[in-house]
Structure 1
């Protein structure tokens, strides 16, 4: 009984205490809700602005990352020779084409479009002149070997590329290179007047010479260094495809070992198409090649051809540019589908990679 009484007295409040307690509770409630009640519209807007700014920063970051990735992709592209009429999607990506350019190029080909010259690439929506300049030296449009009716009609427009010295070749050779007769005549007049070509880019001196055609010819220009009149020209220049080991040893830096290797490799190839192939000979350094490059000449017309429709697999795989797997695939395809009607079939059917096709095609023929 005493406990209940004590407890009741402990929790009993006078009127003034009750009023004080209510005031205290009210003050606490006011202090609790005061920040919410006095939050301004500006504060809310600032919070929203911060969220919007965060979203904008995120978008900018994504765009910059994509741009950096694109720039990195362009920086690491590997340029190699390609034919826009046959090159595949993966190779175009490797060459630095954008997906938009690739899509438009493939649509153009699927509709029957054909690239007859390098500048035809500008027909593709999305490809600019700056793009063409970057790829120009690597574009190689291969004419169809079997020659359709259209090619027969425009036979005068067909040409072939081969190493040449612009100071020495004839008008007929210029025609074979696809140079307009008016330009070749102008070149002859320039030479007869005492002019000369010391560097490949000197072709730009000829008025009216198309810059795209010059860019196409430059990789094949092989200007023989001028010699003193006291030294006969025939004693300085050596025909690489007919020289024996003794003649090769007369070149600076070429001894018995290298001369033997050069002859052996030449026989395996079937002859040198361009003198730069000497750098493929084991042990022949770039420095040695540079020393002898102006002392040699190559007659690409003397190259021994491979009859692709009759050669046996065992002989085909002995060529330095053809391994055993490639030889097997080529012969198997020929046995199953009949003789090749065009050398381009080797590339279109993935029997030979694009990068290797351009090196190999001078050694092949259809019979």
Structure 2
């Protein structure tokens, strides 16, 4: 398996996914495709270039993946197979779908026609116009957002993030006190590629980071152990040391608790505060 590709073994699952998509999203994107028809033209997934796909609104890395899928896996036989490409967003797919025209594959040794373009329009002109206008129109429908401000409705707009994952993301964020790095998304239970990679495309950790702090000098053992990075045993020892030696003044003082090390402290430090009782 190529590392940059998502190989779906069951096309019927993709078809089912399309059928149960929110009707409002489908209508919205069909209308967007119609309103931008002057900027788009019919194209064949088996002959389209990376530059052309970018002019339709695909980021460069995703356009290259479409070509890699075509070359390394197999030629496209239906428009829905575009969703097999790792990272393909359903919103963009629904906008492009009316313009995807796939010709039957030629017999071995024969050439295939590449003429799916409106001959009256210069391709370079189309590239320039599409990149400037259509990409801007598409991006306005689903743009990156602050993960620490997002609700489940916003998260569910991302391809591959349904109601269960959306709620799980919000619950984990609240347990943490807020995300401080994108690599923390890897800790969300059950979230794997391509869902994880789709999340990272749109969910950003934007400053200022207003994370919820654990008041180490007044927090209870139980409250401390509720944090995902702190076990019950660690919480018990931290509180016991505080009760014996007084308030903590910095995260470095946690090294005095013998079972804790610098790796633990680096992980939790940004979630701690040291106000005196």
Q: Smaller-chain TM-score range?
A: 0.3 to 0.5
> Relative contact order: is structure 1 or structure 2 higher (C-alpha 8 Å, sep ≥ 6)?
2
Task: Indicate the structure (1 or 2) with the bigger Cα radius of gyration.
Answer: 1
Structure number having the greater helix percentage: 1
